[in-house]
Chains A and B, each alone.
Chain A
C-alpha cells in the first residue's frame, strides 16, 4: 500500500497537517501575473520559493514559466530586502526587458516587514524602472490563506494599479475568470465572442501557458491581458467576477476605485452554473443568446439524459479549491450524483454554507471540511470508514485511488501526471461535456476492466 499508515480511526489533530489540500499564496500570485502580457513575475524572498513555484506550475502546464527572484541570503534576511529588490529591477529591465514586473512577497519578506510600495517608489526615483515600464506588487504572506488568496491578491493589485475610470462609457464587460486553466479562459472569451459581447478579461493565461510549438521561444508569449485593457476596465458597463475566493477582491476594488458595479458568480462549471453565467452576460450586455450556445447547452443536456444510468447515485469524494468545489458539487448534484466528502485547505467563510445549499436534501450527511486541519489524510480516513465510487481532485489523489481501487478524475491544481487540463476546458457547456465524458470513462473503463466476463457489455 502506498499510504499504508492511514487508518480509518480519526484522531483529531490541532497542529499537524498531513497531505495538504492547499499550498501557499505566492504561487497563486505568480500564476495571476503570468496572465498579463509581457509581465515577469518576481518573487521577493529566498530563491527556493521562486524555484518551487516555477517547477510546480511548469509540471502542471508542461510550459515555460519564467519568474525572477530577489535571491535573499542571510544578510538580506537581517537587513531587509530593499537592496535586493532594487538590484533586481535594474537587472530585470536590462536583461529580460518586460513591460511590467509583478512583485509578490513571501513569508520571509513579510516576516521582516519589507515595504514594497516604498521600494518601488525608490526604484522609480532612481531610474531603475525605465520610463513607460511598470512595477506593481501584491502582499502574499504564505502564512495567511492559501494559493487562491495569492491569486486574488494579485488580481486585485492589477485593478488598483491600472484600472482607471475616465468617464468614457465603453461598451464592454469586465470578466474576472478566477483561477481557471488557460483553455478555460479561452472558452470564456469564446462564449462572450459568440454572444457578441466585448470583454476585458484579466488575468488571461491563454496563449501564455498554452503557447504553440513554433520552434521559436518567446519569453513573453503573445497572450495575456494588456495593461491598456486592464486600464480600460474602469470604463466598462460592469464586471462579472467568477469564483468568490479568487475574484471578489478584484471585483470589489473595481467597484470602489472606478464605480464599476459587479456581479459575483460561481465558476461556470457544469450546466446550471454555466446557465447563470450566460444569463448574467446576456442581461449585463443587453444581448441575445445565440442559438449556437443554446444548442451547445442542449448537447450537454442530451449527454446527461443518455448516460444518466452510469452516474446517478454514485458517491464522490472531492478536494481542491472552494470555487471549483462549489461548482463541481452543483454539477454532480444535477447529475444525481452524491458528493459525500468535500475538503479544501483554503479558508473560506462562504464555502461550507454554499456547498450545503447546493447539496440540499440530496446528500444530508455529507462531510465538509475547510481551512486549517482540512487535509487529504482526513478525507482518506473518511473513505476508509465508508468508501466512495469516484474521486475528483488534483494529482495527489492517485495514491488514494490506487490503494482503495477507486476511479479517479483529475481536476484542480496541480495536475502533474495528465495533460488534458492544459488543453481542454471544463467551463461552459463544452467544458461540462468534457468533464462528464471523463467521469463516464472512469466508471465505464472500470466496469470493462473489472466486471465479470459473462456480464461484459459490447454496447453501453
Chain B
C-alpha cells in the first residue's frame, strides 16, 4: 500500500478542534497483529461529537427498524409524532414470504399514533390505548409491539403499563420498547433493547416440539435482499431444521418457539448477541458465530454446524452441498479476478457487515485498505476476549441488562461438559467472536464511526476502486468518481449470502469497478491538451 496509514491518520484528525481530535485519534487505529493474536485497542461505542456529519442513526432505528421490523406478523405501532414511523416504513428491504396468501403480513403497513401537541402537553397514553384497540380491530394480530420515540420518554408515557393493560383487555401479546432515539449512542442501543424485550415477551411461549435431529435458530439475519431465503435453502438441503430466524422472513410463532432449538447461530454479532447469551443461560442452548457472506465463509459455517452436532450423516450432506456449489463459485471467481484482482476496497458500515464483506472482496482478489463500523463495539473489532475490559460509560449504563437464570423446567444443557471442552478450536468460534481486526492485514486503517470529513480525505488520499457504505454516503462518494456500494440496502440488489449470493456479489462489484462512466467524466474540451478554440463564426 502506497500510504503510511499512521501518517494518514494524523492528517485526518489534524483539522479537528483539539479535544475532538484527541477523541477521534482513539477511534482510528492501524492494524497490527501481535503475539497471541493481540490487536490494538480501539475506542468504540462512544458518543458521536455534536456537529460531526455521522453515518449513525438512533436507538429507535436499531430497535424497530433493524431487529423487530423484519418480522411479518408482529404488528408494530410507533408511539410518537409521525416522522419516525414514516421514515422506517419499508425502507430496509426486509423481504418476507408468508406461507400462503391468507397468512398475515403486516410488513407493508406503517402504524403511528401521530402524536400532536395536545398529547405532548397532556400525555399520550390515552391515545396509545385507543390506537392499539383500533389496530387490533383492523388487523387482528397475535402480537402488537409498541415503539417509543424521543418525546414519549420525556413526557413520561408508560408504554409498558399500557401494553400490560391492553394485553389483558385484548387477550393477545402486547409489549413495548423504550427505544427513544436519545438512548445510547447509536442504533446499537436499540438492538439491545429489542433483544431484551423479545427475550422477555416472546421467546419460550410456544411449546411446539419437533422430531428433527439438527434444530437451530439463525440469529441476526434480517433477510435484506433475500439473504435469508438463500440460507434457509442451504439448511434445507443439509437436513438442518431451522426453528426461527431473528428476524428475517420470520413470524411470531417461530420466535416464540425458538427455545426448542439445540443451537443458536449468530450472524450479526452486534445486533443479536444478547439474545444468544440469554438463551444460553435460560435454556442451555449454546451459540456459534457463523458467517454466510462469502463462499468460503459459507462453507466454513456449514462445516462448523456439522462439527457442533458431530454427526457423520450431517457432515456428509454438508460436504455434498459444498461440492455442488463450489465449482460454480470458482468459475465466477476466476472470471471476475481477471478484471478485479489487485483493486482496492473500503468498507464503512454497520456492526458486522464491514467485517463479513471483506471475505467476498478477498475472494475476488481485491485488497481491503480501510474498514470500520458505524455502531460496533470493541468486541466487534477486537474479539469477545476484550469484553471483561470494556468500560461501561454513562451512555451505555442506562441500557438494561437483564439478569437471567436457568429456567426451572426448561433448562437443558445441550452439550456434556466433555463435549463442550472439545469445542475449543478458536476457528470454530464456539460462543465466541474473534472480531474484525485479527483477520485484517497489518497496516490497514480501522476507523470507528467515520465522519464525512474523514471519508472525504480517505478517498482523496487512497482513491480506492470501490467504497462500501450506506445511502447517506453513496452519492457523495460517487461524485468523487468512485463507485459506492451500499451494504445496508445492497443498492436494491442481492441476495449476497451463501454461494449463490457470493456469485451475485462478485458480478456486482465487477460491474461497478469496471463501468465505463468513470472514464467519461471529462468532456472532450476538458481534456489535458485542448485543441485551440475555433475562430469565432461571424454571428451578427
Q: How far is the CB of A166 from chain B (nearest CB, A)?
A: 34
Residues of chain B within 8 A of A75, CB atoms compared: 394-395
In this assembly, does B120 line the interface, its C-beta being within 8 Å of a C-beta of chain A?
yes
B101-A4 in contact (CB<8A): yes
By a CB distance below 8 angstroms, the chain B residues around A121 are none
- A14–B114 CA distance with the chains assembled, in angstroms: 11
- Please, which residue of chain B has its CB at the minimum distance from the CB of A25? B83
Give a binary string over B93-117; 1 marks a CB under 8 Å from any A CB, 0 the rest: 0000000011011101111111111
A48 B57 Cβ-Cβ under 8 A: yes
Known: A5-B109, A108-B150. A59 touches B471 (CB 8 A): yes
Any chain A CB within 8 A of the CB of B534? no
B48 at the interface (CB under 8 A from A): yes
- Cβ of A22 within 8 Å of any chain B Cβ, yes or no, is yes
A20 CB–B CB distance under 8 Å: yes
Q: Judging by beta carbons under 8 Å apart, are A73 and B130 in contact?
A: no
B258 within 8 A of A: no
Taking a contact as CB atoms under 8 Å apart, the answer to whether A51 and B472 are in contact is: yes
- Tell me whether A77 and B153 are in contact in the complex, defined as CB-CB below 8 angstroms, given that A13-B134, A143-B120 are known contacts: yes
A248 at the interface (CB under 8 A from B): no
- Closest-CB distance, A10 to chain B (whole angstroms): 10
Contacts of A2 in B (CB 8 A): 108
A53 closest partner in B (C-beta):
B87
CB pair A46–B134 under 8 Å, yes or no, is no
What's the Cα separation between A144 and B113 when bound, in Å? 13
CB-defined interface of A374-387 with B at 8 Å, one 1/0 digit per residue? 00010000000000
Question: Which of A16, A22, A112 is in CB contact (< 8 Å) with B131?
Answer: A16
Minimum CB–CB distance from B502 to chain A (whole Å) comes to 27
Instruction: Decide: A46 and B182 in contact? CB cutoff 8 A.
Output: yes
B110 A92 Cβ-Cβ under 8 A: no
- A74, chain B: closest CB distance, angstroms: 5
Residues of B with C-beta under 8 A to A214: 479, 521
Is B53 a contact of A66 with CB atoms below 8 Å?
Answer: yes
User: Which residues 26-82 of B sit at the A interface, judged by CB distance below 8 A?
Assistant: 47-61, 77, 80-82
Q: Mark A245-275, 1 if CB is under 8 A from B, else 0.
A: 0000000000000000000000000000000
B83 and A142 form a contact (CB under 8 A): yes
The reply to whether B116 and A372 contact each other, CB–CB distance below 8 Å, is: yes
Please determine whether B52 and A396 come into contact, CB atoms closer than 8 angstroms: no
Task: Assess whether A405 is interfacial by the CB under 8 Å rule.
Answer: no
Question: Is A20 touching B120 in the complex (CB atoms < 8 A)?
Answer: no
On whether A18 and B110 interact (CB within 8 A), knowing A58-B474, A91-B52, A111-B151, the answer reads yes
Residues of A within 8 A of B180 (CB): 46, 77
Is A92 a contact partner of B153 (Cβ separation < 8 A)? no
Residues of B within 8 A of A27 (CB): 83
Q: Is the CB of B134 within 8 A of A215?
A: no
Known: A16-B135, A58-B471. A84 touches B84 (CB 8 A): no
B51 and A17 contacting across the interface, CB-CB below 8 Å: no
A345 to B110, CA, bound (A): 14
Does B387 count as interface, using CB distance less than 8 angstroms? no
Instruction: Tell me, in angstroms, the Cα distance from A112 to B151 when the chains sit together.
Output: 9
Instruction: Tell me, yes or no, whether B17 is within 8 Å of chain A by CB.
Output: yes
B15 lies within 8 A of A47 (CB): no
In the complex, the answer to whether A24 meets B182 with C-beta atoms within 8 Å is no
Residues in chain B near residue A106, CB distance under 8 A: 150
Q: Do B182 and A74 touch across chains, with their CB atoms under 8 A apart? A: yes
Give the complex CA separation of A151 and B168 in angstroms: 43
Which A residue's beta carbon lies closest to that of B475?
A64
Interface centre among B111, B129, B472, B517 (most CB of A within 10 A): B472
* Contact A91 B452, beta carbon cutoff 8 Å: no
- Centre residue among B102, B108, B120 by max chain A CB count within 10 A: B108
Q: Is A309 an interface residue (CB 8 A)?
A: no
Bound form: Cα–Cα A19–B151 in Å: 21
B68 to chain A, nearest CB (A): 15
Does B286 reach chain A (CB closer than 8 Å)?
no
Residue A319 interfacial (CB < 8 Å): no
Also in contact, A95 and B453, with CB within 8 A (given A106-B150, A107-B120): yes
Beta-carbon contact of B134 and A111 below 8 Å? no
B116 and A144 contacting across the interface, CB-CB below 8 Å: yes
Chain B, 103-157, CB within 8 A of any chain A CB:
104-106, 108-117, 119-120, 127-131, 133-135, 137-139, 149-151, 153-155
Kindly identify, within residues 1 to 55 of chain A, every residue whose CB is under 8 Å from any CB belonging to chain B.
1-5, 11, 13-20, 22-27, 42, 45-49, 51-55
Q: Which A residue's beta carbon lies closest to that of B77? A: A16
> Do B54 and A71 have beta carbons less than 8 Å apart?
yes
Asked if B456 and A17 sit within 8 Å, CB to CB, the answer is no
- Expressed in whole angstroms, the minimum distance between the Cβ of A221 and any Cβ of chain B is 9
Say whether, besides A23-B82, A24-B81, A143-B151, A18 and B480 are in contact (CB < 8 Å): no
Q: Return chain B residues, CB-CB under 8 Å to A144.
A: 116-117
Chain A 57-76 interface mask (CB, 8 Å, partner B; 1/0): 01100111111111111111
Beta-carbon contact of B394 and A111 below 8 Å: no
Asked if B338 is at the interface of the complex by the 8 Å CB criterion, the answer is no
| Chain A residues, CB < 8 A from B137 | 11
Range, interface on chain B? 35 or more
- Collect the chain B residues with CB atoms within 8 Å of residue A311's CB: none
The distance in angstroms between the C-alpha atoms of A88 and B17, with both chains bound, is 11
Cβ contacts under 8 Å, A11 to chain B: 134, 137-138
The reply to whether A58 and B475 form a contact with Cβ atoms under 8 Å apart is: yes
B51 touches A48 (CB 8 A): no
> B50: which of A24, A87, A108, A111 is its contact (CB, 8 Å)?
A87
Check B57 against A17 for contact (C-beta < 8 Å). Answer: no
Query: Is A399 in contact with B108, judged by CB distance below 8 angstroms?
Result: yes
Looking at A11, A20, A46, the one whose CB has the most chain B CB atoms below 10 A away is A46
Interchain CB contact under 8 A, B119 and A17: no
Which single residue of chain A is at the shortest CB-CB distance from B112? Answer: A17
Which residue, of A4, A25, A144, has the highest number of chain B Cβ atoms within 10 A?
Answer: A4
List which A88-106 residues lie within 8 A (CB) of chain B. Answer: 88-92, 94-96, 106
In the bound complex, residues from chain A placing their C-beta under 8 Å from that of B112 are: 16-17, 20
Tell me whether A14 and B130 are in contact (CB under 8 A).
yes
In the bound assembly, the distance between CA atoms of A345 and B128 in angstroms comes to: 19
Q: Which residues of B contact A84 (CB under 8 A)?
A: 50
Contact with A along B169-188 (1 / 0, CB 8 A): 00000000000111111100
B332 within 8 A of A: no
* A residues less than 8 Å from B131 (CB atoms): 15-16
Contact of A85 with B by CB under 8 A: yes
A56, A108, A211, A372: the one within 8 Å of B87 (CB): A56
Q: Does B411 contact A (CB under 8 A)?
A: no
> Is B527 part of the contact surface with A, judged by Cβ < 8 Å?
no
Across the interface, which residues of B come within 8 angstroms of A51, CB to CB?
54-58, 61, 472
CB neighbours (8 Å) of A85 from chain B are: 50
| A47 with B134: CB separation less than 8 A | no
Shortest C-beta distance, A270 to chain B (Å), equals 28
B391 interfacial by beta-carbon distance below 8 Å: no
Name which of A20, A48, A51, A90 has the most chain B CB atoms within 10 A of its CB: A48
Q: When the two chains form their complex, are residues B476 and A66 in contact, meaning their CB atoms are under 8 A apart?
A: yes
A213 lies within 8 A of chain B by Cβ? yes
Residue on A with the closest CB to B20?
A91
Q: Does A279 contact B (CB under 8 A)?
A: no
Q: Which of A16, A64, A65 contacts B113 (CB 8 A)?
A: A16
Q: A68-B52, A71-B47, A91-B17 are in contact. Are A45 and B150 (CB under 8 A)?
A: yes
What residues of chain A lie closer than 8 Å to B77, measured between beta carbons? 16
A141 within 8 A of B: yes
By beta carbon, the residue of chain A nearest B130 is A15
Of all chain A residues, which has the CB nearest B120? A143
Pair A345/B82 contact, Cβ less than 8 Å = yes
B497 to chain A, nearest CB (A): 23
Check: A426 CB closer than 8 A to any chain B CB: no
User: Contact mask A193-221 → B, CB, 8 Å, 1/0?
Assistant: 00000000000000000010111111100
A315 to chain B, nearest CB (A): 24
B165 within 8 A of A: no
In the A-B complex, the 5 residue pairs with the closest CB atoms: A48-B58, A24-B83, A91-B51, A88-B51, A46-B181
Q: Please, could you name 11 A-B residue pairs with CB atoms under 8 Å apart, sorted by A? A: A11-B138, A23-B83, A23-B87, A47-B56, A47-B57, A68-B52, A73-B184, A84-B50, A85-B50, A216-B481, A217-B480
